[in-house]
Every structure is written in structure tokens, then in C-alpha cells.
Amino acid sequence: MTSLTLTFLGTGTSQGVPMIGCSCDVCTSRDPRDQRTRTSVLVSTQNKTILIDTTPDLRFQCLREGIHNVDAVLFTHPHTDHIMGFDDLRRFSELRDSELPIYATPDTMSKIKDAFRFVFDEPKPWKNYLRISAHSLNGVFTLGDLEITPIPLAHGAMTTQGFVFSRNQKRLLAYYTDCQEVNPEAITAAVGSEILVLDALRDKFHPTHLNFAGAIEAAQKIRASQTYFTHFCHDVCHAKKEASLPAGMFLAYDGLKVMLDA
Amino acid sequence: MTSLTLTFLGTGTSQGVPMIGCSCDVCTSRDPRDQRTRTSVLVSTQNKTILIDTTPDLRFQCLREGIHNVDAVLFTHPHTDHIMGFDDLRRFSELRDSELPIYATPDTMSKIKDAFRFVFDEPKPWKNYLRISAHSLNGVFTLGDLEITPIPLAHGAMTTQGFVFSRNQKRLLAYYTDCQEVNPEAITAAVGSEILVLDALRDKFHPTHLNFAGAIEAAQKIRASQTYFTHFCHDVCHAKKEASLPAGMFLAYDGLKVMLDA
């Protein structure tokens, strides 16, 4: 029985791949794995469907994957490519006819509020406006039978939140996107996970994202059963890059589903 | 010689069509004209390419239409479905290597700034950040050989901007979206245009949008050579609705191009 399904909704960096007006080999590739919307995942269990981040592509991602229900939304950080689809959540509060729980740091919640003030104002002028219950990230919390541990990660001058999902003390998934390094505490928190998802922007150094060398080094310390890299820019050709990776490490792509058995 | 091309980038209301999790006849229609991203148009002449609004779907719309250049952006109003793709303009300032001119009312500009503060901050930490020059809408202005007149329109409690595009005193295009009525001044400003684009959400009354009855009535007063309705919700089936319209009136759809000869 599948006990957790990870669906990659998007695997691209801030401008997506293809980039507007770019004619490079990857932006014009016919391999669908080279077409990347902005980075986001869905984590599904028997009784909970959890979305991480609301990219500007959220509506397309939900239509593509046939997503009709979301039970909670977690935010990694407030950058544009991770939050600007926020209002497209309104269908989920409408369909469930209740407030949608949102988990974010106070800084991220504040920046979402700056952009989408009407969602936070009461009373609502329209019955189908997005309705949320805002939860401030503050240590371990549970959703259904999943225990979720937020893990601070350095992303240039800012801190993003990684998330480790466990059940019965077993680490099922560590999701670390938008980080320039994985510090020893974050390594320790993820060691031995079934699935690791890790930022790997490109080969060249970047001041706020892991490159492949750094991501592979961190993955080798974490030793997950399966490691998936994500958040690629158009420097990364899926087929070429995946062929070069160590055993057990893969490139994620839009629409990829990874299923864990109980 | 084509002297103006109007491209409909999106023709849907705030949630687009199909809506997430909806199985109605229109949301499941196989007619591509029933698939609607959020409402926006591109107005192109020999020497200017002008975008109206930056929907959350802007990147998809630009990729779909092969848009590699934008010379200026006009905003009708600051609702989420009209502004949240703002940062995807960054490719246009990068490709032209100069600031992209943005035209909006002070209220709209302020709300864009609330959501995308980093675009307005100086100095920029990254060279490929979106660079803009902000212009406050204040009466008639020109872009290339087009004279553009902003026209205030009532959209519930707020005011949106319509735009009338003229050349040599000839009215080429009146673009009136997101309005609940077209007042006498706005009728007068658009009378006799070659092309009229008009909000027509659905058949039923709506407190902030024209319905078809109201839109047809306004169109009959304006007497444009061609009238295109836009900003439809999923109540509207393209084929059925278009068959019922008066002569010279049409439903716009995503990707439709209307060309005017010189």
C-alpha cells in the first residue's frame, strides 16, 4: 500500500524553463522533462494532501495533475516564484467549504499579506474568497499521521524552511529547496530519509542556491534511499545531467511521482 | 499593411477556465476556445509592443504566443488576476537591457509595489532583476504613433482604467475590461472605434462586471466595426454563446489575433 506520494508540481527556478525569449538548447528542447514550471511539490498520504509553496504556475500545475483537494499549505520562503499563486488556493477553500490551514514563518506570512491583503481582511466581500487559517511555524507539528519538522536553511542573506516528514520515528521525506548550503544540523535532521529532495540550480557556483557539486556532497552525507534534485535553471539538460549522477540520485521533473510503500 | 494587431493573451475571469476541481460542461470542454487564462491583451504596431496587465499566466501566455519583446506595460487595475505575473516581465527588461516603462494609476502602482517591493528598491542586488520606469497615468499619452487615452470605468467600488488607442484622430481600439457599466463619457470616448473589447462575464447579473445584456447594450451605443467580448467565467460556452450574438459582435478567445490594415 502506498503510504506517501510525492508529486513534483514544478522543478524550475524563478523564470521557469523555457525562459521567455530564449533559444538555448534546453529552452527549445523537445524533452518534456526540460519544461519546468516554478518549484513546488504535493505530499499526499491516505488522509492528507499537503502543498508546499504556491508558485505563479499553481493553477496550471493543479489542472495538469488533476488536483481537486488540498488540506494544508506549507511555505518555504516568500520569494515571488514561491508565493504569487497564493490566490489560486481559493478553489480549495471553496471546495472544502472551510478555512485552508497555511503554515509559514511570520516573515513569510507578512510578505504574503503585503501581496494578498484582501485574503486577510474581514469580513470578506465575496463568499468564494480564499479563506485561510494562518499558523506560524514554530517547531514540530503534525498533519494527519505525519510529523513535520521545519529546518532552517541558508538562502543567501535569508533563511528558508526545509521540511522533514516522519511517521513513527521513520523519516520519509526531507524537502530542502532554495538553500545555498545544508548545515550540519540540517544534515543530521535528514540523515537516512527514504526520499531527499534538494536544490541544485546548475553546475556553476551560485551565491544563494546549491550547485550540483554542493548538492551531491550534501546528499552523500544524508544518504537517503532516493535523492531527487530540483529547482533547475536552463543550464541543466535533463537527459545529459541525469546520466552523470551517482547511483540513487536523480533529476526531478514536472509531473514526476515518487511513491513510498507502507 | 497591418497597422495594429490585437492579440488576446487571456480571456478568462479570476480563476480561469477550466476552474480547478470543476467538472461542468465548459470546464471539461474539448473546444480550445473554452480554455481561458486570465484576461490580458497585447497591442502591437510596426514599432511598439504594448502589454495590458500582467496576469499570473503571463509566462505561459508569452511562451504560447512567442512574445520576445514588450516595449511598455499598461495596467487597468490592481486585482490579483491582473497583476500577479508582474515579475515575469523581468525577461523583457533583461532582453532590451533597459528599464521597461510601466503605466498605472498611483493606487495600482502602490499595490504592485506592496506585492513586488524588491522591483522598486535600489540598488538591485542582481543584474537581471526587473527594471522599470514607473509612469503615473495622467491623461492622454503617446507610445510610438499611438495616442492612448485612459478612461475611468466603474468596477464595483473601485475604478479601473479603460484605454482608447488612436492614430491621426482615428480610434483604432477601445479596451474596456473589468467594468460594471460603461458611463456616457466612456461611450463617447469610444464611439466609432475600429475594435471594441468589452467585459462580459456571463449572462447573470454581477455587481462588478458587465453581463452579456449590459455589454451588448453598451456595444450597440459604441458601434465599433468589430466588438469582442472578454473576461468570461465558466458559465460561458464559446460556441453556444457566439452563435447568439448580434452581427459584428464576437467572443474573444485565448490566442485570437485581430489585425487592422493601415
Domain of residue A210: give its range.
2-255
* B245 CB-contact burial (10 Å; exposed 0-12 / middle 13-18 / buried 19+): middle
Asked if A59 lies within 8 A of B20 by C-beta distance, the reply is yes
Which of A127 and B57 is assigned the larger pLDDT? Answer: B57
Find the mean pLDDT for residues B108-119: 97
Distance from CA of B194 to the nearest CA of A (A): 31
CA distance A194 to chain B (A): 31
Cα separation, B173 vs A154, in Å, equals 50
Q: Look up the CATH number of the domain holding residue A217.
A: 3.60.15.10
- How far apart CA B77 and CA B188 sit, in angstroms, is 22
How many other C-beta atoms lie within 10 A of the C-beta of residue A121? 11
Cell numbers standing for residue A117: 491583503
Distance of residue A115 Cα from the nearest chain B Cα, in angstroms = 4
ipTM of the complex in this document: 0.96
Residues of A with CB under 8 A from a CB of B: 14-16, 18-22, 56-60, 62-63, 67-69, 80-81, 84-85, 87-88, 90-92, 95, 114-118
Percent of chain B with pLDDT over 90: 95
Which residue in A39, A68, A7 sits closest to A230, CA to CA?
A39
What local confidence, expressed as pLDDT, does residue A16 receive? 97
Q: How far apart are CA A25 and CA A228, in angstroms?
A: 23
Chain A hits for B57, CB-CB cut-off 8 Å, are 59-60
Name the pLDDT band for B139 (thresholds 50, 70, 90).
very high
Distance from the A93 Cα atom to the nearest Cα atom in chain B, whole angstroms: 11
Is position A261 within any domain?
Answer: no
Name the closest residue on chain B to residue A64, using Cα atoms. B20
Q: Is A142 exposed, middle or buried (0-12, 13-18, 19+ CB in 10 A)?
A: exposed
Please give the residue of chain A at the shortest CA–CA distance from B206: A126
Cβ(B182)–Cβ(B216) below 8 Å: no
Residue type, B169: Q
Through-space distance between the first and last CA atoms of chain B, rounded to whole angstroms: 6
Does A15 fall in a domain?
Answer: yes
What pLDDT score does A23 carry? 97
d(CA A260, CA A6): 8
* pLDDT surpasses 70 at B262: no
Q: What is the mean pLDDT of each run of 10 residues along chain A (262 residues)?
A: 92 97 98 98 97 98 98 98 98 96 98 96 86 96 97 94 97 97 97 97 95 98 98 98 96 98 78
User: Is the CA virtual torsion A185, A187, A188, A189 positive or negative?
Assistant: positive
In contact, A208 and A223? CB cutoff 8 Å? no
Gap between the terminal Cα atoms of chain A: 6
Query: In angstroms, rounded to a whole number, what is the distance separating the alpha carbons of residues A9 and A52?
Result: 10
List phi, psi (to 5°) of A217.
-60, -45
Q: What percent of chain B has pLDDT over 70?
A: 99
Task: List the single residue in A with minimal CA-CA distance to B14.
Answer: A88
Residue A94 forms part of a structural domain = yes
Residue B74 in grid coordinates: 499598461
Angle (deg, nearest 10), helices B106-115 and A106-115: 160
Which residue in the set A20, A63, A80 is minimally distant from B20, CB to CB?
A63
Name the closest residue on chain A to residue B27, using Cα atoms.
A63
Q: Centre a 10 Å sphere on the Cβ of residue B247 and count the other Cβ atoms it contains.
A: 5
Task: Report the alpha-carbon distance of residue B10 to residue A78 in Å, rounded.
Answer: 27
Residues of B in contact with A29 (CB under 8 A): none
Question: What is the total count of domains within chain B?
Answer: 1
Q: Which three cell numbers stand for residue A174?
A: 526531507
| Paired residues of B29 in beta bridges | none
Interface of B with A (CB under 8 A): 14-16, 18-22, 56-60, 62-63, 67-69, 80-81, 84-85, 87-88, 90-92, 95, 114-118
